[in-house]
Amino acid sequence: MVAFTARAHTNIALLKYWGKADQKLIIPTTTSISLTLNEFYTETTVEFNDDLANDQITLDHQPLKAKDQKKIINFLDLIRAQANINTYAKVESFNHVPTAAGLASSASAFAALAGASAAAAGLDLTPADLSRLARQGSGSASRSIFGGFVQWDRGTDHQTSVAHPLQEQVDWPIQLLTVIVSDQPKKINSRGGMQNAMQNSPFYQSWVERSNALVKPMQTAINQHDLATLGKIAEQNALEMHAQNMVANPPFFYLTDISWKIINLVQELRENGLKVYATMDAGPNVKIISHPDDTQKIEDALHTILPEITIQVATPGPGLKIWQNGATHA
Ligand code: PMV
């Protein structure tokens, strides 16, 4: 069968997904909102081939660890069931994002895999269908099907738990400065972390209620191009997510002393009049939501306290692209 390639960009949640109401289907406890990023993406090629005796999967030319391999095979099984085929696949993936370092590489990975494998299996799916499919690989992947600002509706079942764009073309100044505290894979992955928080945090229910209540104000901030309100809500929501982890029994932490230094600096810069806000995911890296005109000032301030730190600028990015191998693409 024909090989297809898909490119999907990572996204950073401004309102986080942190807990599953349904473990198997990956239905979240909250509605989340994200920004897709231009600079970080995954490109994946899939070909179902009758000559294969098993699935062959590589990431950046390397075979995957058994555990990760299993996740991809499970995902391919969903595709095979839907397409009514039982052919094995060759999957080649290239990550243009530090893997598992809190930069949500699983989001771009499963969105790209959904796009390439569905096309290679001959399935003709809508973007919403691809979002539902990607969601079953990794929750945040449901949002990486679309560009710009994206909302993943919590929903109640497979059909209703799906992402949709809020603003695909972001034509106003907003960026994320990603401060790389560590590019090592995290110790507690997001799946384990959110389960811990759900089961062991005394305030989990309040997280769900407070996070869902922020959806409308966040939508309004996006519609009004209101960087200050957007950033303030995102920072509050990120800190509340991390607070769940810190008060869980046993507690666990993604943020390190360096992460906190950066968060403190962001507060200080804000007191000095800059529109800068921090958001953090299941890892120590800090993303600074900011105005592109302030990049130099923020970088200088960061380098004063952390001379060696790596900073990557990320701007709003596009949704999923799929093309047949050999064909030209945008
Ligand atoms: O999709 P997962 O299982 O990698 O979980 C993502 C969790 C966070 O990145 C912390 C939040 C989010 O909404 O992306």
pLDDT at 109 (0 to 100): 95
Q: Which of 171, 182, 176 is nearest to 313 (CA)?
A: 176
Q: Is any ligand 1 atom within 6 A of the Cβ of residue 104? A: yes
Q: Is any ligand 1 atom within 6 A of the Cβ of residue 138? A: yes
Residue 149 pLDDT greater than 80, yes or no = yes
206 DSSP assignment: H
Evaluate whether 311 touches 178 at the Cβ level (below 8 Å). Answer: yes
pTM of the model as a whole: 0.96
Residue 112 pLDDT greater than 90, yes or no = yes
How far apart (Å, rounded) are the C-alpha atoms in residues 101 and 130?
A: 25
304 CA from centroid of ligand 1 (Å):
31
11 CA from centroid of ligand 1 (Å):
9
Q: Which of 298, 297, 289, 294 is nearest to 316 (CA)?
A: 289
Residue 58 pLDDT greater than 80, yes or no = yes
Q: Is any ligand 1 atom within 6 A of the Cβ of residue 10? A: no
pLDDT at 120 (0 to 100): 98
- Rounded alpha-carbon distances, angstroms, from residue 57 to 34, 88, 136, 150, 301: 29, 10, 19, 29, 43
Q: Is any ligand 1 atom within 6 A of the Cβ of residue 17? A: yes
To test ligand 1's pocket by mutation, which of 11, 18, 25, 215 has the most ligand atoms within 8 angstroms of CB? 18
Atom 6, ligand 1: which residue's CA is nearest?
Answer: 140
91 CA from centroid of ligand 1 (Å):
23
pLDDT at 198 (0 to 100): 97
Question: Helix-strand-coil percent breakdown of the chain, rounded to 5?
Answer: 40, 25, 35
pLDDT at 330 (0 to 100): 47
Q: Is any ligand 1 atom within 6 A of the Cβ of residue 13? A: yes
pLDDT at 67 (0 to 100): 87
39 DSSP assignment: E
To test ligand 1's pocket by mutation, which of 11, 14, 17 has the most ligand atoms within 8 angstroms of CB? 17
